[in-house]
Amino acid sequence: MTVRTRIEPAPSGSIHVGNARTALFSWAFARHHGGKFILRVADTDAKRVNEENYQAVLEDFRWLGLDWDEGPEVGGARGPYRQSERFDIYREYAGKLLERGSAYHCYLTDDEIDVERKSADSAKRPPNFRSTEADEKRYADEGRPFTVRVIVPRDRTITFHDEVLGDISTDMGRTPDFVIMRSDGTPTYMLAVTVDDALMEITHIIRGNDLMASTPRQLLIREALGFTEAPVFAHLPMIVTEDGKPLSKRWGDVSVRSYRESGFLADALVNYLALLGWSLDDKTNIISRDELVKNFSLERVGKNPAAFDVDKLEWVNGHYIRTSDPKDLIEAMVDVCVRHGIPAADGDEGRRILAEIAPLLTERMKRLTETPSMVRFLFEDVTPDEKAAATIEGQGDYLAVVAGTLEGVEPWTGPAIEAALRALAEAREMKPKKAFQPIRAAVTGTLVSPPLFESLEILGKERTLERIRRAA
C-alpha cells in the first residue's frame, strides 16, 4: 500500500501555524514511508476566498519547503485539487445518498429549525428535521429551498482507532441529522472532505483533534456510499499559549506569514513546529528536515496540548541564523531590509555590504528583523536618534580630534582603526565606553550597532570621517 496523506487548508489568508504543523507531520509521514503528500484546497466558501488568499496559501507551503506530490500547480490523476472545481462530484454523491435512502431533502426554514431544536432539547430527544411526504411535495411544488441532510442511525455506536488517542467510541443516539448540501447547492465540509478523501485514496488522515468530533459523521457517510476501507486517523494535540489557551489571533502572531515577516527563517519554524507535540528524544532541540523524515512516526506524537514558546522559537531561529548557508542568509537579509525601507540592499553592492557585516551580526541575532536597524547606516546617511544625539552633545572638540586621528590610519582595516582609537583613549585617559560611544553615535546614528571598528572599516574611510566631522 502506498501511503497517501493530505493537507486541506482554507484559503482565507496565510495559514495558521497549527495547520502548518499538521501539514508538516503529514508531509514527514508520507516522506518517511515513501508515499505521496497531497495539497487540496478547501475553497468552497466563496465569501472567504479570493485569488490573493489562494496564492498566499501556496506561497506559505513553498516558503516552508513542504513540497506536494499532487495538487495545484502540480496536477495529478485524482484532481482537480480545488474543491470549488469539484461541485459536480459532490452533487453526484449527494444524489447517491438520496437514492439509497441515507439522506433526505430538508425544507425547514431557519426559524422552524430553531423551534424544533428547542423542542428536542426540552424533550431530551434528537431533533427531527424531516417533513411529512405531503409537506415535502407541497414545498417542492412551491419551489421552497432545501438542504440535504444525512440520516443518523439512532442505535449506532461508531468506533475507530486513533493512532494518537487510541480507540474512540461515539454513541450517535443524540447526534442530529446533519447537512451535507446547503440550500445554495454548495457542499458542506463534511461531504466534501469525505468524498475527496475516498476518491483520492487518502490512507492516513493526520489533523488537529479539534476536528475529531467530525470523524464519526465522516465514517457514516463513507459507509453509506460504499467506501468500505476507512483511512487511518491520527488527531494531533492542540497548540496552545503558555497559559494553556487556544492559539488564536487575540494572542498575537499565529500565521506563517506573520512569523516570516517577523524575521524567522523557514528552517527554524519547521524545526520548532516539528517538536510541538512530537519528539525524537528528551534532548533533541535541533532537527533537520532529513532527520525528521528519517525518524518520524505517529507513535512519538504526544496526547497533551503543546505550548507555543516564542522564546524557544527565537533560540532555534538564532541557531539557524548562525548556521545558514551564507548565500541563503544574505538573500533573507536583503528581503527583510527591502521590506523595512532599505532598497539599496537589493543589488550587487548591497549584497556585498551585507556579506561583510553579517558575521558581525549573527552571533547576537534572534530575528532577521534586527538587521535593518543595525545596517541602515551602511546604506544611507543617518540622523542620530535621541540617545545618540545626547551622547554627541558637548563632544565636538573630542570628535574633531578623533577625525584627525583616523585621517592618518592606513590601511583602513578594523585592527588598524582599533589600535588608533585605543591609543587615543589611553592618551586622553578615557574609558573605552566614554571614548567610543560618541564615535558610534556619530557614525551609525544609534548606540546599538555592530562592533564599532569593523563597522567603520565596512563603511569606508571617506564616509566615516565625513560623519564624525559633521557631528564635531
In the chain, what are the domain boundaries? 4-73+237-317, 86-236, 324-380, 382-472
Fold of 86-236: Rossmann fold (3.40.50)
> Could you tell me the sign of the dihedral formed by the alpha carbons of 9, 15, 19, 25, in that order?
positive
4-73+237-317 and 86-236: identical CATH topology: yes
Is it the case that residue 227 has pLDDT exceeding 80?
yes
Q: What is the CATH number of domain 382-472?
A: 1.10.10.350
Considering the segment(s) 4-73+237-317 as one domain, its CATH architecture is 3-Layer(aba) Sandwich (3.40)
**Regarding predicted confidence, which is higher, 449 or 24?**
24
Cα 363 → chain centroid: 26
Is it the case that residue 251 has pLDDT exceeding 60?
no
Q: Contact at 8 Å (CB) between 459 and 406?
A: no
pLDDT in tens, 346-388: 999 999 999 999 999 998 899 999 999 999 999 999 999 999 9
The pTM of the full predicted model, rounded to 2 decimals, is 0.92
Q: Contact at 8 Å (CB) between 158 and 139?
A: no
Is it the case that residue 1 has pLDDT exceeding 60?
yes
Across residues 210-230, what is the average pLDDT?
95
Active site residue 294: no
CA dist 133 → 107, 137, 140 (Å)? 11, 6, 10
Is it the case that residue 249 has pLDDT exceeding 80?
no
Instruction: Say which DSSP state 233 is in.
Output: E
Q: Which of 249, 303, 327, 434 is catalytic?
A: 249
Half-sphere exposure of 419 (CA within 13 A, CB side): 9
What local confidence, expressed as pLDDT, does residue 13 receive? 80
Is it the case that residue 304 has pLDDT exceeding 70?
yes
The closest of 105, 52, 113, 57 to 81, measured between CA atoms, is 57
Burial 316-333 (b: 16+ CB within 10 A, else e): bbbbbbeebeeeebbebb
Query: Taking the C-alpha atoms of 319, 322, 326 and 329 in order, what is their torsion angle to the nearest 10 degrees?
Result: 60
Is it the case that residue 252 has pLDDT exceeding 70?
no
Which three-class secondary structure state does DSSP give residue 356? helix
